[in-house]
A and B are shown apart, each in its own frame.
Chain A
């Protein structure tokens, strides 16, 4: 007997001029102790389903038909008073954005005590005792002293734990988790998901896990329901869903996600088009417009959710069997026309070099042999002052966003920067493009030092370096038409007559896959993926040599991501530009990049080719990231047992001494606190900064940054040899 059973649920939302039907005839069930994953893209109705269970629909929304049976009682038929007694008591919900979901004016103790007082009639003291118990349960050290803290004093992960504590305070039977970890860093996400699993087992709850991340679902859900455009299109236990899916949408969705094992030379499978408009849903199967197997029957008649095996149901007239095998290989990349590099040529990679006083840049992360260098960063430092006092504003501390990063990028290659939030990768991207000036260190573009140029002299370099932004909504001026947006860079730089500009604009629109009629429209008339294409077209108007892409696909839906990623790769093949891709998503970075640099709290901790990073990671943080990133592969996910990286991200205002990762590193020792590890070679072009790396470094003397004293180096060189020697024995 399932604990929660939804039968034929339909929800309508009445807008001012139309009626949206976000959920239509949904049926699902959850047993006690089971996690049901509800996956789908934005707009598919999964959040609305979760909200309908709690009867928390937005204004204008009401349940049209269907029933929601909780332990035999129908939640739809209940009166307001009855459902208020159920909310928070028998059914609890946690939301995505913990900052706005917690009351900023109440302490966390009071907020956790609130449902206890409401539903159990407890006195204030008893409720606070229960709050202390809950805080301990969700992993707060010294919970009694934390009762008085306020939400803004906590980090994102801690706030999410508080939300879980509030939800579980009255021992609910069902927990609805609506995108609980989407806003969190990957390492914190793993901790929160492990916590949810643990609590579910202890309290015997049923959990409805709503998310768009197939990797999360692969690891944590017992069964999965896939939603598309308000309908459930497939439902099965997790492993069969991933290995033998039957619905073309599930197949396409899973095929379009770049996995860590993805071959970068093969195009990602992408689903063309956009989801349907739910104010006027199509008559037949809702996926028919985008499905490659659609026939007339599909467009006319909606398939029922059924299947030969009652545990694995799907709604399709032409089911498929298993994952898709993509065979579209990418054409060989055009090698860009090689410009003359700096005189003196390039030393072979791997040969030890001790100091380059004449060239003046460090040996870090050289690109492949033969690629001329286009961007050289040397010991960049950028710190933001923290002021105190309203009137005088004296500086009391500084946020160390970037602390001494050096790297070299070759022409035509794609360099990926990976790291969690606060690691400084966005700041580094802005320094490269000239939006920020470094406090010390230099950045050179094709031999010229751009970090010290005035803004006027920098203007002519702007044609060569452009940036693609993360937020498709915020990166386009909402008051300008697309034509004007695309024309603006050319106007500013004074390129071409109006007619030439028009020609360039229409060429670019065609190239990025947008209709020519787009020039007359405003940005808000486009979808997120289309806006990102406009952003890409804008970047290309000046034919830049270097493009910094800051989280290019993070804000997009999963099925749209592959479209944009394929487009980016295709454009690089045609135009031969250099990319710097900044992202927290290692799979995306690995798919796009030739070389990857991993950053943590303002430092570059590892750098190497994509294969090096993935298969031969030397730094514990890199290994932890790879272990923690949820992959859409249930077998691999279930095999991950321990949480790889403990603890919270330290403050960037006072980063830990020595190695900044030591507070969370499983291999930390005393020397890690006293001495900062230098970058050491682990292979051609592969370097990492760790005193106790996961692999043996090559037997080489330690590389020197120009300016350090010799004696210190020799001491360290001996150390390395000593340690390497020990490893061998």
Chain B
């Protein structure tokens, strides 16, 4: 019988005993390729990119007068000089859509950013510390959730007037509740995982646990939530504008435009209603597609395939 020891020694020396690394490539590359496979998500990204360019870069390319009213040219149907016609004040509709889109996207992104930052911190602290702090924070969240958001915003915007920043802050101040609950749930699952125990065994402080271990691992859920929140914010903004409590003139967003245009339907001014509506639906849908695809990507159970 040959001496097994010698042979296995040779094999050992030729490559590390643990074997070569065979696994899939780095995490984000895997996630990216899995994201790209979802055609709807790619379409969603495309739509968002298009609208970003359309709303923010468009005005540099397509000049239209959005400041001086021109009542003579009001309510013109699409035609020469005005591809989408003009509105009640004689402003070019296409230019108006671009401007409205700026405000909508800005508010959507900014409010969801505010909501996510507050929500993540609150959720992580509540989830990790547990006990009385957790209970207190969650009851606070429950209380806020039971306040009808709409009324608060109506009161605030009526009282203070609505600008992009103010609206973002208000919408954000009430939307963080959902992400706080989400992050808390993630943190509760994460904190009993072995790698958190290992960090504690090494002497990691609570801050280190939260910022280096818990939040990065909860980020997946958070990012998915951001996209849905952007979609919800834009939707909500449209609702506000529709009720007449949106941005003040001369700022405008899609909701305002829809509201103003509602009466125009009866008069047959379809170009004031449908283009704006389509843009709104497309942007909200695009964010939802991206959110769905991100959720599929982030969900580890589905990822391995």
Residues of A within 8 A of B (CB): 15-16, 255, 267, 269-270, 272-274, 277, 292, 324-328, 433-435, 458-459, 462-463, 465-467, 469-471, 474-479, 488-489, 492-493, 510, 512-515, 517-518, 521-522, 524-527, 529-530, 533, 535, 538, 542, 563, 567
Instruction: Confirm or deny: B68 has a beta carbon within 8 angstroms of a beta carbon on chain A.
Output: no
Q: Which residues 1-29 in B have Cβ within 8 Å of A in the complex?
A: 1, 3-5, 7-8, 11-12, 15-27
Q: Which residues of A contact B37 (CB under 8 A)?
A: 16
Q: How far is the CA of A517 from the CA of B25 in the complex (A)?
A: 13
Q: How far is the CA of A223 from the CA of B195 in the complex (A)?
A: 42
Q: Which residues of B contact A462 (CB under 8 A)?
A: 201-203
Contact assessment for B198 and A467 in the assembled complex, using a CB-CB cutoff below 8 Å: yes
Shortest Cβ gap from A709 to chain B (Å): 40
Q: Quick one: closest B residue to A14, CB to CB?
A: B305
Given contacts A15-B305, A272-B8, A477-B213, contact A527 B202 (CB under 8 A): no
Contact assessment for A475 and B202 in the assembled complex, using a CB-CB cutoff below 8 Å: no
Contact assessment for A327 and B4 in the assembled complex, using a CB-CB cutoff below 8 Å: yes
Contact assessment for B19 and A272 in the assembled complex, using a CB-CB cutoff below 8 Å: yes
Q: Which residues of A contact B129 (CB under 8 A)?
A: none
Contact assessment for B8 and A492 in the assembled complex, using a CB-CB cutoff below 8 Å: no
Q: How far is the CA of A328 from the CA of B202 in the complex (A)?
A: 36
Instruction: Confirm or deny: B39 has a beta carbon within 8 angstroms of a beta carbon on chain A.
Output: no
Instruction: Confirm or deny: B217 has a beta carbon within 8 angstroms of a beta carbon on chain A.
Output: yes
Q: Which residues of A contact B213 (CB under 8 A)?
A: 477
Q: How far is the CA of A15 from the CA of B203 in the complex (A)?
A: 42
Interface SS of A by simple majority: loop
- A479 in complex: contacting residue of B1, B21, B217, CB < 8 Å: B217
Q: How far is the CA of A469 from the CA of B200 in the complex (A)?
A: 13
Contact assessment for B195 and A328 in the assembled complex, using a CB-CB cutoff below 8 Å: no
- B195 in complex: contacting residue of A15, A277, A459, A474, CB < 8 Å: A474
Shortest Cβ gap from A524 to chain B (Å): 6
Q: Can you offer 14 A-B residue contacts whose CB atoms are under 8 A?
A: A272-B11, A324-B4, A325-B1, A327-B4, A435-B197, A467-B197, A467-B201, A478-B195, A479-B219, A492-B208, A515-B20, A521-B21, A525-B26, A530-B18
Q: Which residues of B contact A522 (CB under 8 A)?
A: 26-27
Q: How far is the CA of A459 from the CA of B195 in the complex (A)?
A: 18
Residues of B within 8 A of A (CB): 1, 3-5, 7-8, 11-12, 15-27, 34, 37, 193-195, 197-205, 208, 212-213, 216-217, 219, 305
Q: How far is the CA of A576 from the CA of B274 in the complex (A)?
A: 78
Given contacts A435-B197, A563-B17, contact A525 B208 (CB under 8 A): no
- A459 in complex: contacting residue of B8, B193, B197, B203, CB < 8 Å: B203
Q: How far is the CA of A270 from the CA of B8 in the complex (A)?
A: 8
Shortest Cβ gap from B305 to chain A (Å): 5
Q: How far is the CA of A470 from the CA of B8 in the complex (A)?
A: 27
- A469 in complex: contacting residue of B20, B197, B219, CB < 8 Å: B197
Contact assessment for A475 and B195 in the assembled complex, using a CB-CB cutoff below 8 Å: yes
Contact assessment for A434 and B208 in the assembled complex, using a CB-CB cutoff below 8 Å: no
Contact assessment for B8 and A478 in the assembled complex, using a CB-CB cutoff below 8 Å: no
Q: Which residues of A contact B12 (CB under 8 A)?
A: 272
Q: How far is the CA of A267 from the CA of B198 in the complex (A)?
A: 29
Contact assessment for A328 and B21 in the assembled complex, using a CB-CB cutoff below 8 Å: no
Contact assessment for B201 and A326 in the assembled complex, using a CB-CB cutoff below 8 Å: no
Q: Which residues of B contact A328 (CB under 8 A)?
A: 4-5, 8
Q: How far is the CA of A535 from the CA of B195 in the complex (A)?
A: 10
Q: How far is the CA of A462 from the CA of B216 in the complex (A)?
A: 25
Contact assessment for A477 and B3 in the assembled complex, using a CB-CB cutoff below 8 Å: no
Q: How far is the CA of A267 from the CA of B26 in the complex (A)?
A: 36
Given contacts A475-B194, A526-B21, A533-B18, contact A492 B203 (CB under 8 A): yes
Q: Which residues of B contact A492 (CB under 8 A)?
A: 199, 202-205, 208
Contact assessment for B21 and A513 in the assembled complex, using a CB-CB cutoff below 8 Å: no
Q: Quick one: closest A residue to B23, CB to CB?
A: A525
Contact assessment for B26 and A521 in the assembled complex, using a CB-CB cutoff below 8 Å: yes
Shortest Cβ gap from B123 to chain A (Å): 17
Contact assessment for B24 and A524 in the assembled complex, using a CB-CB cutoff below 8 Å: yes
Contact assessment for A513 and B17 in the assembled complex, using a CB-CB cutoff below 8 Å: yes
Given contacts A292-B4, A327-B5, contact A476 B195 (CB under 8 A): yes
Q: Which residues of B contact A467 (CB under 8 A)?
A: 197-198, 201
Contact assessment for A469 and B11 in the assembled complex, using a CB-CB cutoff below 8 Å: no
Q: How far is the CA of A477 from the CA of B199 in the complex (A)?
A: 9
Q: How far is the CA of A476 from the CA of B18 in the complex (A)?
A: 17
Given contacts A467-B197, A475-B194, contact A512 B18 (CB under 8 A): yes
Contact assessment for A563 and B18 in the assembled complex, using a CB-CB cutoff below 8 Å: yes
Q: Which residues of A contact B216 (CB under 8 A)?
A: 477, 479
Contact assessment for B21 and A525 in the assembled complex, using a CB-CB cutoff below 8 Å: yes
Contact assessment for B22 and A527 in the assembled complex, using a CB-CB cutoff below 8 Å: yes
Contact assessment for B19 and A273 in the assembled complex, using a CB-CB cutoff below 8 Å: yes
Q: How far is the CA of A15 from the CA of B34 in the complex (A)?
A: 12
Contact assessment for B23 and A274 in the assembled complex, using a CB-CB cutoff below 8 Å: no
Contact assessment for B194 and A517 in the assembled complex, using a CB-CB cutoff below 8 Å: no
Q: Quick one: closest A residue to B199, CB to CB?
A: A488
Q: How far is the CA of A269 from the CA of B20 in the complex (A)?
A: 20
Q: How far is the CA of A672 from the CA of B18 in the complex (A)?
A: 50
Q: Which residues of A contact B22 (CB under 8 A)?
A: 274, 277, 525, 527
Contact assessment for B1 and A324 in the assembled complex, using a CB-CB cutoff below 8 Å: yes
Q: How far is the CA of A470 from the CA of B193 in the complex (A)?
A: 11
Closest 9 CB pairs of A and B: A525-B23, A513-B17, A328-B5, A475-B194, A462-B203, A292-B7, A513-B18, A474-B194, A469-B194
Q: How far is the CA of A510 from the CA of B17 in the complex (A)?
A: 9
16 further contact pairs, Cβ within 8 A, besides A477-B216, A478-B217, A522-B26: A15-B305, A16-B34, A292-B4, A326-B5, A465-B201, A476-B198, A478-B27, A479-B217, A492-B199, A492-B208, A510-B16, A515-B16, A521-B21, A521-B23, A527-B23, A563-B17
Q: Which residues of A contact B212 (CB under 8 A)?
A: 488
